[in-house]
Structure 1
Amino acid sequence: MRILLAFATLWVAASGMAISTNETEAPEPECFGAKQIINTGEVTSAAEFYAGEVDFSIDLFKKVYADNGGIKSKKPQNVFFSPFSVHSALLLAYFGSAGETQKNLGEVLRLGETDKATAIRSYKATQMLHRLSSAANLTSKSYDLELANKVFFDSTEPLSNCITEVLSEEVEEMDFLKKSSESLNMINGWVNDKTKGKIENFLEEGSITSETRMVLANAAYFKGDWQSQFKPERTKPTIFHISPSEQTFVKMMYQKGQFRHGVSEELMSYILELPYVGEDISMFILLPPFVENALDEVLSKLNGSILKEALRSMWKVDIEVGIPKFKIEASMELSKTLKNMGLESIFDPILANMTDFSSSPGLYFDELKHKAVVELNEEGSEAAAATALIALRSSRPLEREKFICNHPFIFMIYDNMVDSILFMGAYRNPKSSV
């Protein structure tokens, strides 16, 4: 019995109605205690629930970075994916899990002492917050941030009434047994629609078979304009140092202006914030000095508390900024990566306990697929779903400085409302970009 855990990357509002396989049965009355109406206070507390998401994102990024040619790589590769997308889909798996599997997922997702009822309510509150924010910003045309989660079940699966009610927007039935090819096309169409055409043919032929019982998918999309845009006429070819012994040219975008800037001696990096219109979302860039293996050193020290402290310690300065114009596409299978993070049970047909989804035994995950796209240009960015002892000045700069990304750097698209990392990447080699 196979289950495919699938991810696309970009951002989107959930849609679709659940169809219960037990329509004649009365729903459980409590459903983890998570059915009450969500109030504004819970929207605020949702940020506390996602506090562990940053640590999860950084740890996952470290593993993905290492898998894509870390310090041992002779040909550095760019890395890009959506940790929030992965976190969201695994959160749905957590809602359907029980016993040791639930405990295992909670530990890996950094949920702390949060019980499932609180987790579901916080998840739904965050979904509501993003829907309200997205609607407001689409009206003002500042940015487009959307996200959607779906749990596609085979129509023969005896689903829990509780799950189909609490996750009514996320659950949908399909006929994997008799119409596996049509089901695959429908899921790919859903991903393509939610990512505004940026991710096509997400699942390959044969990914869904008559043995598939569930596909857990997340699609994410973000498109935003810089609050301070780069002028195309200032973009020019500039040398990018891939390593001390290898250089190439990139199209470097330049501008001068006031931006929040800081330094982190712990991370040995300069940090810059490039807000998108509306300032709910920003891109943060961590730029270490140009020495060999600098990104590896930064990542060895990076964690959630250090990152948040570094972001709080930034100030506005007059500065010249230079950022490469680039596009990165990445596809990856993450089941092995998550196993290395300690998430074993959901991939084991014997250990997996997904009985809060279905009373039928043997439900487990076979694969975890993820695909992401990001493109930076003068107007903004569109995203579909790193040893040197160097003293850095921590006092306020007194004169104009430069922040020129002409060597490897780490970047993240950060949700300032919930304090979470939506997308994260490492730009290391212009030759490996699309």
Structure 2
Amino acid sequence: MKKIIFSVLAVILLISTVSCSQTQMYAQELKSGKKYDTSPEVSYSDMEILAKGNNEFALALYRQLSAADDGNMFFSPYSLSVALAMTYAGAEGATREQMAKTLNFILEEEDLHAAFNNLAIELARRGESNQGKDEEGFRLNIINAIWGQIEYAFLDEYLDTLAVNYDAGLRLLDFTADPEACRQAINDWVSQQTEGKIEDLIKKGIISETTRLVLTNAIYFNAAWGIPFKTSSTADGTFYLPDGSTVTVSMMHQTENLNYAEGDSYQAVELKYDGNELSMLIILPEDGNFEQFKATFDAEKLAAIIDEMRTANVTLTMPRFEYESQFSAKDALKAMGMTDAFEMTADFSGIDGTHDLFIEDVVHKAFVSVDEAGTEAAAASAVIINVKGVMEQAEVTLDHSFIYLIRDIQTNTILFIGSVVNPAE
């Protein structure tokens, strides 16, 4: 099966006080004199701390966003964490403390940025010999870009941190002269990085003459299932919506040996991608329990589910789905405790040496598509044979609301999280 995900995040910082004439200006780049560190020295314990903190933030944000939206949801908490980590590098005082608490940044700052760098390097190694559905193979591409006001006095120390740990130089724009052209320039770059899937990320009016800095992170993911679904097994089926109504959707079917767990109120199954480095973990709360389950779904519960997984012979019924999500994370982050960053009390003096900057908005857009297609040659590699005793039999029918995560297994990093309430939308 081919899984394609496009995810783009932009964090926008504006000067609280009160020219991108040509879109090609974003090719002009101001780089730190320091080079990107391709071999950061990071301990295993620091990587564990980073992953744990990122996962806690991912699920806290999921709970916050899903409480305000009862439809399909999909976003990349990793993308958000990276972009906000680049912003955090310039935060000071109470702003810094609130961001650290909200984002679960436990490590000392120097260690934190080095750990993010090491994680990006690890993820870049994934899928080097694995397959996508197409002939281009597996892709997990992560790209950072920073857009700053031309001739604005950004601190060298801040630019050094971004260059060394995030391989990000400053692309120069003139927001004061033509903010609309600058918006179009950034959106054009985003569209190019996502092969046209993410259009108009930054809506008109968000960027203004007072904008001084925009930080963007883009993710593109394309991978084949280790064990593909057979298209001949797909048939129409019924999916039950939260209000009791139903929709008819295409349901995929397979019976395979898969990682499986069940509890008093859920079933969970793991589908690995070709190469067994990344997987989709699907959690199906019992019918009628979706809202209660997601309201209490945290990192501790996720870890317990993963720990309970055992190989079972699973008959899986799963809908095709494809949708996009777009939202501002500003209100959710403020509700989680990150308030000063968005107010006049913000302290981002680590960026420019002044107290003039604050975050105007955090915008995110993502696209996801799931179907049966995959690479037949890799099918056997993901089949796990359990020779100890009788294989447990399980049936998982995803015919009502469910949660899913795409995670890197080795680093225990949640790259994407979503929930399907109506696969027909």
> TM-score interval w.r.t. the shorter chain?
0.7 to 0.9
Residue number in structure 2 paired with 1:5: 11
Partner of 2:419, secondary structure, is strand
Which amino acid is 2:414 matched to? I
User: How far apart in 2 are the matches of 1:43 and 1:141?
Assistant: 33
User: How far apart in 1 are the matches of 2:326 and 2:37?
Assistant: 39
Q: Do the aligned partners of residues 43 and 164 (structure 1) sit closer, same or farther apart at CA in structure 2, a change above 3 Å counting?
A: farther
User: How far apart in 2 are the matches of 1:128 and 1:66?
Assistant: 34
Partner of 1:217, secondary structure, is strand
Q: Does 1:162 align with 2:124?
A: no
Number of residue pairs the alignment of both structures matches? 385
User: How far apart in 2 are the matches of 1:67 and 1:213?
Assistant: 31
User: How far apart in 2 are the matches of 1:320 and 1:427?
Assistant: 20
**Contact 2:146/2:168 (<8 A) preserved:** yes
Give 1:314-325 correspondences, 5 Å limit. 314-325=309-320
Partner of 1:357, secondary structure, is helix
Residue number in structure 2 paired with 1:55: 56
- Give the % identical residues: 23
Task: Note the C-alpha offset of 1:314.
Answer: 0.6
**Contact 1:35/1:166 (<8 A) preserved:** no
Give 1:25-44 correspondences, 5 Å limit. 38-39=39-40, 42=43
Partner of 2:341, secondary structure, is helix
**Contact 1:6/1:218 (<8 A) preserved:** no
Q: Do the aligned partners of residues 43 and 167 (structure 1) sit closer, same or farther apart at CA in structure 2, a change above 3 Å counting?
A: farther
User: How far apart in 1 are the matches of 2:418 and 2:12?
Assistant: 20
Q: Do the aligned partners of residues 406 and 157 (structure 1) sit closer, same or farther apart at CA in structure 2, a change above 3 Å counting?
A: same
Which amino acid is 2:11 matched to? L
Partner of 2:240, secondary structure, is strand
Unpaired stretches in structure 1, ≥5 consecutive residues: 8-14, 70-76, 382-395
Task: Note the C-alpha offset of 1:157.
Answer: 2.0
Residue number in structure 2 paired with 1:202: 201
For residues 209-264 of structure 1, the C-alpha deviation after alignment (integer angstroms, 9 at most, x for no partner) is: 22211112221121111111111111110011114731121100111111111113
Which amino acid is 2:339 matched to? E
Task: Note the C-alpha offset of 1:363.
Answer: 0.3
Which amino acid is 2:115 matched to? S
**Contact 2:56/2:298 (<8 A) preserved:** yes
Structure 1 window deviating more from structure 2 (47-56 vs 117-126): it is 47-56
Task: Note the C-alpha offset of 1:205.
Answer: 2.9
Residue number in structure 2 paired with 1:144: 139
Task: Note the C-alpha offset of 1:400.
Answer: 3.0
Residue number in structure 1 paired with 2:358: 364
**Contact 1:154/1:174 (<8 A) preserved:** yes
User: How far apart in 1 are the matches of 2:301 and 2:390?
Assistant: 22
**Contact 1:42/1:125 (<8 A) preserved:** no
**Contact 1:43/1:129 (<8 A) preserved:** no
User: How far apart in 1 are the matches of 2:57 and 2:414?
Assistant: 10
Residue number in structure 2 paired with 1:342: 337
For residues 109-160 of structure 1, the C-alpha deviation after alignment (integer angstroms, 9 at most, x for no partner) is: 1122x11111111111112222233655579965211112222111132111
Unpaired stretches in structure 2, ≥5 consecutive residues: 1-9, 14-25, 376-388
Structure 1 window deviating more from structure 2 (115-124 vs 139-148): it is 139-148
Residue number in structure 2 paired with 1:283: 280
Residue number in structure 2 paired with 1:131: 124
Residue number in structure 1 paired with 2:4: none
Residue number in structure 1 paired with 2:115: 122
Q: Does 1:269 align with 2:270?
A: no
Tell me the TM-score normalised to structure 1 length. 0.82
**Contact 2:253/2:318 (<8 A) preserved:** yes
Tell me the TM-score normalised to structure 2 length. 0.83
Give 1:16-415 correspondences, 5 Å limit. 18-19=29-30, 38-39=39-40, 42=43, 45-69=46-70, 77-112=71-106, 114-133=107-126, 137=130, 143-168=138-163, 169-172=167-170, 173-243=172-242, 245-265=244-264, 268-290=265-287, 292=288, 294-349=289-344, 351-379=345-373, 400-415=393-408
**Contact 1:43/1:122 (<8 A) preserved:** no
User: How far apart in 1 are the matches of 2:168 and 2:28?
Assistant: 7
**Contact 2:254/2:316 (<8 A) preserved:** yes
Task: Note the C-alpha offset of 1:44.
Answer: 7.7
Which amino acid is 1:46 matched to? M
User: How far apart in 2 are the matches of 1:273 and 1:376?
Assistant: 15
Residue number in structure 2 paired with 1:392: none
User: How far apart in 1 are the matches of 2:391 and 2:145?
Assistant: 51
Which amino acid is 2:88 matched to? Y
Structure 1 window deviating more from structure 2 (128-137 vs 146-155): it is 128-137
Residue number in structure 1 paired with 2:5: none
Partner of 1:297, secondary structure, is helix
RMSD: 2.8
Partner of 1:364, secondary structure, is strand
**Contact 1:259/1:272 (<8 A) preserved:** yes
User: How far apart in 2 are the matches of 1:415 and 1:295?
Assistant: 25
